[in-house]
Amino acid sequence: MITSKGQYKEYVKTDMLANNILEWKWTHRFSRPIIRFQLLLRKVEYYKNCRTDLLGKIYFKFLMVRFVKMSVNLGFSIPPNVFGKGLSIAHYGSIVVNGNCNIGENCRIHSATNIGEAKGLSPSIGNNVYIAPGAKIIGGITIGDNVAIGANAVVLKDVPDNVTVGGIPAQIISDKGSKGLLVDIIEQ
């Protein structure tokens, strides 16, 4: 969670690196809608968490209108303060994330993914996790660090560190984990 201006800048820099962008160029405004969404997400988080003055609250409302509009246009339902730094959204399409989830650093997520609650409990996902297209992660489960979740997997039980899971319901299919599937920003 972003709690200072310095952290905000760090989150933005790490998100850009996770998306293989070394520096912002004005052409990205027109050619990279996903990174624009992520930058707006981080700005919303900063203003929500840090700027409690009147001007900050007013600007936060303005940002939320833009954020909701962009979320609808890209097909994302990603609330603020869920993802750690290093978020990489592979491409636009349906991504639904419950607001009570806790997702760690350096997460790569693909379209048609649902991370939701069951019986009032939401998932907790570790660092360096790769979530393939169509994956469903549901309930009060814990996903370890360095995990790869296969395409169309339905994860209903806890997953240990350093494994790959797949299938319906998801089972461990490899001990390779997410190594090689993510940009190495945070040590795996």
Class of domain 94-174: mainly beta
- Per DSSP bridges, beta strands 102-103 and 76-77 are unpaired
Return the closest-CA partner of residue 187 out of 102, 126, 128: 128
Residue ranges, CATH 2.160.10.10, the chain: 94-174
The model's pTM is 0.92
Task: Give the pLDDT of the chain (188 residues) as one tens digit per residue.
Answer: 899 999 999 999 999 999 988 888 888 888 899 999 999 999 999 999 999 999 999 999 999 999 999 999 999 999 999 999 999 999 888 999 999 999 999 999 999 999 999 999 999 999 999 999 999 999 999 999 999 999 999 999 999 999 999 999 999 999 998 888 887 765 44
Are 147 and 165 in contact by the 8 Å Cβ rule? The answer is: yes
- The per-residue DSSP string of 98-151 comes to -TT-EE-SS-EE-SSEEEE-BTTB--EE-SS-EE-TT-EEESS-EE-SS-EE-T
Q: What is the tens place of the pLDDT at every residue in 77-105?
A: 999 999 999 999 998 889 999 999 999 99
Q: What is the tens place of the pLDDT at every residue in 135-151?
A: 999 999 999 999 999 99
**Dihedral through CA 17, CA 22, CA 23, CA 24, nearest 10?**
-60
**Strands of 148-149's sheet, edge to edge?**
88-89, 108-109, 130-131, 148-149, 164-166, 171-174
Indicate the length of the chain as a whole number. 188
